[in-house]
Structure formats: C-alpha cells, structure tokens
Chain A
Amino acid sequence: MEESECRALDNKEVNFMAEVFKNSEVIKMTGIGKTYKMGSSEYVALKNIDLTIHKSEFVAIIGPSGAGKTTLMNIIGCLDTPTQGEYILDGINTKCSDNKLAEIRNSKIGFIFQNYNLLPRLSIIENVELPLLYMNIASREIRERALEAIRKVGLEFHIKHKPTELSGGQMQRVAIARALVTKPQILLADEPTGALDSKTGKEILQILKDLNDEGNTIVLITHDMNIASEAKRIITIKDGEIISDVPNEKFYKGVSVCS
C-alpha cells in the first residue's frame, strides 16, 4: 500500500469483511412498526423501520416532536414491544418472555433518561448499584463496580449524597454511571441534555463521546442539531418513518479507502 496503489478486494477478503461486519451487529430491526390503540381509533407511531446498528457506533436520532423517537428508543431498549416486525438484539430475538426481557434490559442495555429517573430515597452509590442487585454477583464486587462507574463520571466525592442534593448535570452523571455499571452492549440516551444548560449539556456529551471512544455503542436522541452533529451517524425520523440515515460528514470528510 506504500505505493498508494488501489487494488480490488478479492472474494475471500470480501466474505471475511462481511462476516466481521455481521458479527458486530448489535441491533438489527426489520419492518418494525408500532401502533397504539386508543379505544376504537388507532395511532401509528412507527412504521416499517429497518435499522442496523453496529458495535462502537455513535448514532444520533433526530426528528420533530411526536415523530416517534422515544417510541423507537423504548423498543430498542426492550421497555416496549413492537406490534410488527422483528428485532434482534445482540443475536437474541426479542420476541420473548417478560423475564427474558428484564434480563436483557439488565445486562445488555444502559438507559439514560432526560429526567434522570434516579430513586430519591437511595444514595448515589446505591442508585448506581441498583442494576447490579438484579444480577447474580457478590456484594463486594457490586460495590467495586459501582465505585468504578462513579469514578468514570467524576463523582467519587459524592457517593453518600442523595440525588436531590446534586445539580442536574451531576444527577445525569449518576444516571450515566448507573447505565454503565453493567457494561451493557448499548447505551441509550433519550435527550440526556434536554433538561440541562448548554455548558453542562456539553460536558455530558463529552462523557458520552469518551465512552464511545472506549468502544461503547451509543444511541442518542436529541432535538439539538449541535449535539447531533457530534455523532458519527445521524438518523432522521418523521411521522414514524426513517427519512434519512447518513454518516456524519464531519468525521468522514477526506477519508477514503484509497489514498
């Protein structure tokens, strides 16, 4: 390659690359739809969504209010089930029992909500430990892993505090630590900066970017184009459909296979 000479990949190489690519599929959705029934009327919130997300991607989902972003996120996170289509998460078909879905949420998904959703009566460390309590691990390891996650978001001096004693940005860091603590396949963030001022929002975004650099797969929902522009791939949803799905040029400008 020193000679900067382009050569077509041979068949074997193509197959190999395809295999690697396929193995790194974390999310694979085909024909996903969601219809809400409200009395006699029906509301189609999502229709015919085909979406594949690979390991270590950083995807932003944007779209106008009511487009179906949260609905899609809930389905990705196995909080909700689609009414049509097939969704394979990390090789597992999510059309399965309630118990199995709880296990998936526990071990494969890390949620970060706009309103943090911390338990007010528990301390910071206890909040972060929460997902680990539902796994089968020893209490010493629980404490260690929770501390490690809290250190990652820079809150190790506040572990005994209650969430209400923290600022919004700090609460969102706790939520990120809680999402991280199980080392999930994907981090799902639904407008994580929506309740924060732009400076704190940037800090949170930076944490997410660092996590992505470490190899975490991140799906982020946002209204804010500035935030979306930090993602490597941007998906736009409107009226329950994906209307565009493009790599962020900022990251790929000037990158080509041949030099």
Chain B
Amino acid sequence: MAATSIWANKMRSFLTMLGIIIGISSVIVLVGIGEGTRKQVQNQIEKLGTNLITVNLTGRRNVGLSNSEIEELKTKPGIKSIAPSLQSSVNLKAGTKTYSTTLEASTPEYSEIRKINVSSGRFITKRDVENRYQVAIVGIDVANELYGTTNVVGQSMQVNGVSFTIIGVLEPQGSSMGGSGDDRIIVPLSTAQRLLKNTEIRTFYIEASSKDEVNNAKGYLELFLSKKFKNDTNSYRVFDQTSLLDTANETSKSMTMMLSGIAAISLIVGGIGIMNIMLVSVIERTREIGIRKAVGAKRRTILVQFLIESAGISCLGGIIGVLVGFLTAHGIKTLLKMPVSISGIVVVGSVTFSVVVGIIFGMYPASKASKLNPIDALRFE
C-alpha cells in the first residue's frame, strides 16, 4: 500500500528523499574520510614501533645529555637503546642542481629505533660517527631531485657547501605526519655537530626493550630528567607512541563528531521535508482516509499506514544516499588519493537513522491523518 503511494508520486517522493539522500551520502563520505585518515595515522604510528619513546629537551640553557649520561641510561632496565637526534634544514648542491631539505643527524641505533632501512648502500656505522666521516644517506625524493635517479650510492654532493659522499638511499617511506620521510638526508651525529656548529642535542629517541616496558622506561626517564633539571618539568617532554596514538585518535574523533553533527543537521532538514510532504499528502488523501475509516480502519491502522509510508520514503532515501555516498567516496579515493574507509556500522547506522527520522517526522502528519473525523473526511472535496 505504502509502496504504491510512493510510486504513484515518483517525482515528489524523489524530491522529498533528496534531503535524506544528501544527508546520508555526506555522512558516508565525511565519516569515511575521517575514519580513513585516522586509520592511516594509526598505521603510521604503529609502523614507527610502539616501543618508541621520544624525549624533547625544551629548556633554554644548553643542557643536553652527555655521552656518559647516555651510556648510563642505556644500562637501565627497560631501555634498549638510545639515539640522539639533531635536525636542521640545509641546502644541497650536486653539479649545478641545488635543493633544500631536512638534515637529520644521529647514530647507528637510529636505524633500528625508528625502523628506517636503506634500499641500497648502508646506514651510518659507529666508525662514521667516531671519525666524523662526511657521509650521508639520502631519501628517494632528494636523490630524484638532485640526480634524477635513485641509483646514487657513491655520488658526492655539497651540504651547506661541505662535500659529502652518499653511502645509502632510504627505503621509500611515504608521507607521514610532519612532512615526507623521503625528503631528507641522514648524516652521522658528530659530523653534523661540526657542520652546523651546534652541539646542542634536544631530541632523543629511546627504544624500550618491549611494549610492556614502555611505561617503566618512561617513568625512569622522567625521574632522571626531573633530577637533572631540578624539578623544572617545563624543560623536557617525554612521550611515547601510545600518547601520540591517543592524541591522533582524539583529534580524529572530534573531527568525526563535528562532521556527524553537520550531517545530522542535514538529516533533520531532510526530515522536515518529509513532514512537509506528508502533511500535504494527508490533505490530498483526506477522502481516502475517510473511505478507509468508513469501511473499518482504526486510528492505529491509518497511523501505521502513514508512518510506514514516511519511513519507507526515508529508508529508500537512506539506501540511495548510501549508494551515492559509496560512489562519491570511491571517486575521492581514486581521484584525490585520499584515504577513505567505510565501515558497515556507519552504513547500517545511517540507514537506521534515516528510518528513525522518517518515523519521527512522519508521526505528526500520521497522527493528524488518524484523527480525522470520517464524515468530515468523506465530505472533503
């Protein structure tokens, strides 16, 4: 019965559904993008290793950790290895080509701690650090920019005017938070300290011996640092991947919430559209309601008939919206190369929600229809 009446007013039903279609498809797309981004971030964080602890020294004075302090920390339970790190932006030159990129200086441990490998050549060794060799590992973006190829091991280039030999090329990293992992060079720490005339090391990457030890290690580091900085907790920051994950999740959650809010508003607007059309439909069908009542339809029967109709319209709109959302999400994924992830829960949830919208906004017109007096309804022209 409801289906016949929806079909009889195809164009009108479609226009009524439009609000719901737009609402649902935007939910699907927006939540899909939010979810996709979150998953991507989570993947990257997990790829970095969940055992990673980062220490940032933020105090003003030059109070880096001494070598002996680092060696001492290394012996502490729960701490597997430590890699100090120095970052700076530098200008590269090879032949006539110039390029500016990020220089990251560290020790051999960096490779293991940050899960970074070379695709050709080798990583920094202890000897490179001890002897301040002027060697560098380059990311593939750098190699391509300077040489037009990634086959660059053995080539030499100028870093801020000083000649370096390329000893390795990084595996492709893909882009991550805070820039591309392919657009940088890595050099021995000691070499960089001399090159940049900077011995102040502010970042340390620490690997805990296992995931369960992360908190122990973190606690120990905090204790150590607070002693060293005389309780000035503003001078250092210790964080691990879990807190990073939490932050990322938190951010994406609030983004998803906001997007859902916008989508919910559009669904409510769609619902008002349904109510509008259903009210018109009740007036148009006053006579029909009168006839049905005259032959014995109860109030509840009429109520249910109209509710089914409005729920049907919104459910159909929801399903079309899901399809449109799917197609749009797919288009965004392939054309804009954005991560999109659509979960079954979102699909089921949004169709359910649209049915609920239909029922809620159909309630008023349906109850109006059910309360019509049969003789008045029969007399209606």
Q: Check B296–A134 contact: CB distance below 8 A.
A: yes
Contacts of B292 in A (CB 8 A): 130, 134
Bound-state Cα–Cα, A103 to B298, Å: 8
- Expressed in whole angstroms, the Cα–Cα distance for A173 and B369 within the complex equals 29
| Partner among A74, A80, A107, A118 whose Cβ is within 8 Å of the Cβ of B296 | A107
Chain B residues with Cβ under 8 A from A98's Cβ? 298-299
Contact A102 B288 (CB under 8 A): no
**Proximity bits, B277-313, A CB within 8 Å = 1, else 0:** 0000000000110111111111111000000000000
Chain B residues contacting A80 (CB-CB under 8 Å) are: 375
The reply to whether A102 and B296 form a contact with Cβ atoms under 8 Å apart is yes
Query: Is the Cβ of A134 less than 8 Å from the Cβ of B378?
Result: no
The reply to whether B298 and A111 form a contact with Cβ atoms under 8 Å apart is no
Give, as a whole number of angstroms, the nearest-CB distance from A239 to chain B. 21
Query: In residues 111-144 of chain A, which contact B (Cβ within 8 Å)?
Result: 111, 113, 117-119, 121, 130-131, 134-135
Chain A's nearest CB lies how many Å from the CB of B78?
A: 74
Contact assessment for B375 and A130 in the assembled complex, using a CB-CB cutoff below 8 Å? no
Contact status of A134 and B375, CB under 8 A, knowing A117-B291, A121-B5, A121-B8 = no
B299 and A99: CB pair below 8 A? yes
Partner of B294, one of A79, A99, A121: A79
| Chain A, residue nearest B300 (CB) | A99
Inter-chain contact B296/A79, CB cutoff 8 Å: no
Interfacial chain B residues near A130, Cβ < 8 Å: 291-292, 295
Is A216 positioned at the interface, with any CB of B under 8 Å from its CB?
no
* Total interface residues in chain A, CB < 8 Å: 23
Q: For the complex, what is the distance from the CA of A44 to the CA of B29, rounded to whole Å?
A: 65
Contact B295 A106 (CB under 8 A): yes
How many angstroms from the CA of A175 to the CA of B240 in the assembled complex? 80
- Interface flag for A183 (CB, 8 Å): no
Verify B291–A119 contact, CB threshold 8 A. Answer: yes
Query: With A102-B298, A107-B296 in contact, is A79–B375 under 8 Å at CB?
Result: yes
> What B residues does A113 contact at CB under 8 A?
378
Answer whether A102 and B293 are a contact pair too, CB < 8 Å, given A117-B378, A119-B288: yes
Q: How far is the CB of B329 from chain A (nearest CB, A)?
A: 39
Task: Please state if B291 and A105 are interface contacts (CB–CB under 8 Å).
Answer: no
Which residues of chain A come closer than 8 Å to B181, judged between CB atoms? none
How long is the Cα–Cα vector from A134 to B288 in the complex, in angstroms? 15
Q: Is A178 an interface residue (CB 8 A)?
A: yes
Contact A178–B298 (Cβ < 8 Å):
no
Contacts of A131 in B (CB 8 A): 295-296
Question: Do B5 and A134 touch across chains, with their CB atoms under 8 A apart?
Answer: no
Q: With A and B bound together, what is the CA distance between A25 and B297 in angstroms?
A: 26
Contacts of B287 in A (CB 8 A): 117
- CB B281 to nearest CB in A, in angstroms, measures 13
- Interface flags for B1-12 (1: CB within 8 Å of A; 0: not) read 000110010000
Give the distance to chain A from B309, nearest Cβ to Cβ, in Å: 13
With A79-B375, A121-B8 as given contacts, are A102 and B291 in contact (CB-CB < 8 Å)? no
> Is B188 engaged at the interface, CB distance under 8 Å to the other chain?
no
Task: Determine if B362 is an interface residue (Cβ-Cβ < 8 Å).
Answer: no
Within 1-46 of B, Cβ neighbours of A (below 8 Å) are at: 4-5, 8
Interface 1/0 per residue, B246-258 and A, CB below 8 Å: 0000000000000
Instruction: Across the interface, name the chain A residue whose C-beta is closest to B377.
Output: A79
Chain B nearest CB from A35 CB (Å) reads 15
Docked complex Cα distance between A107 and B4 (Å): 26
- Give complex CA distance A77, B288 in Å: 18
- B21: shortest Cβ distance to chain A, in Å? 26
Could you list 19 A-B pairs, sorted by A, with CB under 8 Å?
A: A77-B294, A79-B375, A80-B375, A98-B298, A99-B299, A99-B300, A102-B297, A102-B298, A105-B293, A107-B296, A117-B290, A119-B288, A121-B5, A130-B291, A130-B295, A131-B295, A134-B292, A134-B295, A134-B296
Which residues of B line the A interface, CB within 8 A?
4-5, 8, 287-288, 290-301, 374-375, 378
The 3 closest A-B pairs by CB, nearest first: A106-B296, A131-B295, A134-B296
